[in-house]
Each structure stands twice: as C-alpha cells, then as structure tokens.
Structure 1
C-alpha cells in the first residue's frame, strides 16, 4: 500500500550544493506547491523532527545531499537508503601548519604530529575527514597513516569547526591540521596558520577523496518505492539549479555565503570556481569508483559496521528520468 506523503523533507550540509541553491531560490517549494505537498528543510524543522535524521536518514520522506561518511554509515547500519546522484565539488582542502615552519612536502608529514579530532557523536565524520585528508596527502609520496604520528585532539560535539585542532596547533601540541571549506579559510587566518600542503594542487583527484568528494544525494527506499515521481521531480529541480549556478557567479557567491556561514573572504578563498560552477549530479563509473575508494577507507578504519555494496546501493533510474524531464522543460520554455 502506498503511503500518503504530506511533507517532503530535504537536508544538505553547509557547503556548496544544488539543494542549497534550489532552496534559496524557492524552486523546491514552487515545484510541489500545486500538489499541496509541503516542502521543508530539516535545518529549519525545530524540535518536531530530531536533527540526527540528517545523519541516520531514518526519516522516510527525506532527500539528503551531504557528506558521504554519514550516508555510507547509515547504509552500512541497515537503513534502506538509495544513492541517486553524486557531485564532485572542490572545497579548498589543505594541510595547515604554523607560520614560519617553511615548506612542507607530503613526505614530511611522516615526521610531524598530525591532529586527529575526536568528537562524541554517533558518526565522527570530523575524525574521518582528518584521517582521509592526511592519508590522501601521504599517499602522494607512497606513504600511509601508519608512517605518521597521529595525535588525538578532543573537541566538544558542538564546537566550532577546526577550533580544537587549530588551538592544538597554536599551542604546539601538534604540527599539522587538515581543513576544508570556507570557514577553514577564516579560522586559519584567526590562528595565523598557513597552508603547508595544498591538496587541491594535486592533479590526481584520488588524493582529495573525502567526506564531500564525492558528495552523494540519497533517498529512503520507501520514498522511492511509493513516490518515484516526487524523487524524479526533486532531482529535476536540482539539475535546473545547477544549470542556473553555472551562469550566475554573483548569485552563487551570495548563496554560498549564506549556506556556509562564511564571509566573502572565506567563500572566495575556498571556492574560486564560482564563475563556472558545476553542481551537477551524475552516477558515472568514475565518480562511483572514487566513492568506492572512500567506502573502503572508512570500512578499513572502523567507521562502517560492514562493507557497502555500491552497485546495489546506487539507482541510476531516477536521475536519468530527471534529466529527461529537465530537458523537456527547457525545450518548452
């Protein structure tokens, strides 16, 4: 029996996403208004819907565009989600060091103390990001995490991004900190930390595989089974939002500032591609292979209860249908 859908929920991380663009422009609400279907952001839900649904994806009427660590974790824990799209969006990933240290190479990391944050949360994606970031840098010189000195840095669950690690760096307890995104640009300036290794400079994308690269869009199996048309239309709106973003750099910069909570300096420092933004989804073999690299890394380091079969998880049909719908709409307009 098909369940009634009164509210379609969406959630996204505070990073560049087509969902964030569509939400800011009112496109998601407008898409389903004539159906009498309410469209609500989990970030604005208040106390009526627990925020941990962003990580567990146990809310059946939810579409999630966010980091792959929680998405893979939820699937590994048995939540029947489906992967319906992947983006690859560069987010200024870097290894920071104290000013005055001098040039740092990936090989040098094996001789430094690397900050590995630890937070008491259900899935510690912050810790996973740091480990993957350092592993990516070390891997470019043929080294691995076993070659390095990893220093646990405890951070409160609600602590601001990168603060605990940068305080440890400033105090001399660690020598290097992995960071990414717009808020990291601003935080580095506050602590006078400088880029020791620019992960974005490596031509091989595999060095930057992490929580947000690639970033998945997932839905609950029940939503896909009961309301496949809603999922397709949602994806069509994301395609249209990505199309808009590709030709509206000023608008993208404004929306990213609102989405990330960073100022113009942070946005410009983290996202220098806003004049040719590409927020489009795909499920190409290349992107799935990069996600496979992340899945294996997370499982090998204990973040996943069991392996995730990406071929079984991914469903390309909704995105293919959404592309056809978006093309038909564009032709009509």
Structure 2
C-alpha cells in the first residue's frame, strides 16, 4: 500500500530529488451524492490543484486490489461516499476509517410480486418464497444483506416471523466491480453490470421459482415497472424511519483514519468542496438530475420517481442523531445476522470534528 505521506522520486542527475505529489482517492456508490456533483463539476480538482495534490477515482486503477477498496477501504487516502454496509463490514475487520458525514435521502424500496401470485400485502407473505441472492465471489454480499433487512422489515409490519416464510438462495457468480482502469473520474459501476444487479432475482420471479423480491433505488423502480410487478410493501414510504433504514439509507462518508488524524485540514477541504457541490445542485436542478442519472443509470424521470422530486435539494452533508442511530442499528443488524463477525463501538467510529471544521471553512469562504 502506498504511503500517506509524500515520498521522494528519482530526478535527473545533478538535480535534487523532488517529492511525489500527494494522491487522494475517492469512490462513490451509484446513488445521489454530493460527491457525484463535485466530481463531475471538477470541484475537487479545483480545490487541490494549486497544492499539487492529485485527486482521482478508484476507477483510474486497473489493479483489482485498488478497485475493491470500495468495499474494504484498503487504499491509503481514500474518501468513500455511499452505502453503509461495506464500511461497517470493513470497520468490523479492523479497517482504519472514520465516519465524517452522512446523508439521508429516502428512496424507493419495496417488496414486489407478480400480480398472478395473489400477494397483495405483507400478511400475504406467510408461507411464500422470498428470493435471497448470494454472490459467491464478493468480499461482502451487501445486496443479500439489503434484501434480508428489507424482508425482515416487511414481516415485522405484518406481525410475521422469519420462519413464516421460505428464503430461497439464488447463487450469482458475477462480481459487481468489473475490471477496468479507463477513467480518472469515472464511477466503478458500469451500465451492463449495474443493469444486471437483480437479473437473477427477476428471472427467478418470472419463472415461478420464487414468489417475491426486495428491490430498491432507481434500478428497482425501473425493474418493477418492466415486470409489471405489484407493490406488496412500500418500505420507502413507511412512516417509521426505522423501517426505511437499509444500506442506502442513510449513506455515509468515510475517510482513511490516518489521513483524518495527520491532515485534518485536507479532510475538511474535501468536505467543503462537497458542501459547495450540494449548493450548486440546489441551484441547478436539471443538471443535477442528469449527473445523478448518469451514476444510478436512469433518466431524470426515474431519478425523481425513486429519490423524490426534491433530490437536488437533499445532498447536504449531515451528522444528525437520526443517521447516527441508523448506523448503529445497521451494525447491530449485520452482527446479529452473521454478515460481520466482530463488534465495535459505532459511536467511537464517528468523528464530528472534520465536518465542524469544514463548516467553518465553508462559512468563511462564502463571506470572503
């Protein structure tokens, strides 16, 4: 792993060694994030260019060990904004990371079934077969965890227990992060892989091998419409926010712990650039929907259908009590259901100081 500090590189004979530029890595999930806006608009490049700091996506590397840092956070100087399951998993395995911000955007989440199944509500799930994808070649099967959490929330709404239904394993060989390394800024999530995320479940549903599936986000809304599926439980619209908590609600922004300790101002500057991006999104609705759509793989129509008509106003960085409690609840769910083996103090994992510093920095810039 490269060092977080600058190192010397060989210079021509007779010239002093010059330090190698610091390199910041980033990655984001295919979700609405301030990171997507800042990356697409070049705001991170602008923030650090004068200091000679290189900012680039994990997608710039063809090394799968670097690319899969999206899951294990194993790359030095990495910022990651996205779903909360992989960072909780990596932290439980000893990854030196810090949560510096969260963001809560309610999204389309539902248990769906084909109309021919006769399943109309959560109570009708009793005795039914629920599809459970199992990715055989992933470090952390976050989608399986998402599905289970969605199913358990739906069963609880109906007063049912897990043993009232049958969970049907659906093995999947394909990895979600493809090989690559073609883009300095680009996302890891390519169209074909993204589109196939639930193909195994959808085909099993159509073939009658299962009775219902969990789905979420813009891809999920599109998939449900494509299949003509009926909504059995609309989790995304449930009044209890606890029922809406899953991998993508809330998202978390994590950073390499060593970078946070040794260069807090650098971390704050990164966050300040995301704050700028969130403000830009507020003032540029159409452009924001286009950028988000590019990341999630959907047209603006489906972006607003899945994440709300005001999604462009909801990208601000937060670290509120609801989100902090949700992260702790998600950790408890993952531990209780065998997705992580080791417990850790979720409260100690969250550090509000970088966001506080960034807010002060952002305020001064806006005044000046």
Asked if these proteins are the same fold (TM beyond 0.5), I'd say yes
Shift of 1:311: 1.4
Report matched runs for 1:45-64 at 5 Å.
45-47=61-63, 50-64=66-80
Give yes or no for contact 1:42–1:49 (8 Å, CA) kept in 2.
no
Per the alignment, residue 185 of structure 2 pairs with none
Change (3 A) 1:258 1:276: closer
Larger Rg: 2
Higher alpha-carbon deviation: 27-36 or 133-142: 133-142
Distance 1:79 1:197, change over 3 A: same
- Are 2:202 and 1:166 aligned? yes
2:69 is equivalent to residue 39 of structure 1: no
- RMSD (CA atoms): 1.9
Q: Give the ranges of 4+ consecutive aligned residues of structure 1 lying more than 6 Å apart after TM superposition.
A: none
Query: What are the equivalent positions in structure 2 for 1:114-193 lying under 5 Å apart?
Result: 114-120=130-136, 121-158=138-175, 160-193=196-229
Kept in 2: contact 1:253–1:267 (CA 8 A): yes
Tell me the equivalent position of 2:358. Answer: 322
The residue that corresponds to 1:3 in the other structure is 5
Kept in 1: contact 2:24–2:54 (CA 8 A): yes
Question: How much does 1:265 deviate?
Answer: 4.1
Q: Deviation digits for residues 46-88 of structure 1, max 9, x if unmatched?
A: 3386311110101121000021111001000011111111111
- Partners of 2:39 and 2:4 in 1: CA distance: 27
Question: Shift of the alpha carbon at 1:269?
Answer: 2.5
Q: How many residues align?
A: 332
Superimposed CA distance per residue, residues 105-160 of structure 1 (whole angstroms, 9 cap, x where no aligned partner): 22222332111110011100010010011112222233343332111111233361
On the 8 A contact 1:3/1:226 being kept in 2, the answer is no
Which residue in 2 is equivalent to 1:194?
A: 230
Distance 2:207 2:119 in 1: 20
Which structure 1 residue ranges, 5 or more long, are not aligned? Answer: none
- Structure 1 residue 274, shift from structure 2 partner: 3.5
**Aligned with 1:262: secondary structure?**
coil
C-alpha distance in 1 between matches for 2:64 and 2:111 = 39
2:281 to 245, 260, 269: 245
CA distance change for structure 1 residues 131 and 123 in 2, over 3 Å: closer, same or farther?
Answer: same
Structure 2 stretches lacking a partner, 5+ long: 7-20, 176-192
Matches within 5 A, 1:266-285: 266-274=302-310, 277-285=313-321
Measured at CA, do residues 208 and 48 of structure 1 come closer, stay the same or move farther in structure 2, by a change above 3 Å? Answer: closer
